[in-house]
Structure 1
């Protein structure tokens, strides 16, 4: 019995990371993946510790098994977080990278802000928080990628 439990725990440990990270934080890495896998990019600007609509969007859509399963095979997910609490502060390099993304794709400082990009980084569509659930976001984001 102990052997089976050990093997199961080992399996979970080994197989967990191989499923791939759902959210990426490095734009260059994401662009490389998008080009290699021929997938569009879903870029989300959020304030994870202060923006109520961002937190709702994460809970109601991004964190749902339905959305995660669908999105992992269709899009490369990129998150640009702008936390305000000192305990959640980003390292300076990540904060600078997120600021550069905001300068390019979110000049108006909207939170949450969802930008759908092609693999080259061209904007295909934009939205913010809507109370449409995972199915609604999948449909909306898919509508932006129809021209691909």
Structure 2
């Protein structure tokens, strides 16, 4: 048995409106805080670039935050068949401290980047509710970035 065209169109419109409403209400309560970029020298060649870091918080994840790290396009020279398109890496640490509770933690990862940047690295951290202060560093020459955000 087939559904009439008007009923089908109404069902599609209703589903679309419902999905848009659900997405809009979910994203309206979320918050993103981006920190200053961390300039760093990378390993694997003579490479340098900037590392972006930001956090996402939401009332849907009480006491938690998603820490995001992504390297922008790097500049430099590397070994191999394509020396002007190097693939370099650097160990990156996002250290955080909850100033309300004293809780602290780190998100450590090896960021691999090339002439198009890196993939997005992300991880939930159980920060607890409160004011969180963050420091981003690498294991090579860098200018640390500092930031802060609040978790409900």
- TM-score by structure 2 length? 0.29
Structure of larger gyration radius: 2
* Structure with the bigger percentage of strand: 2
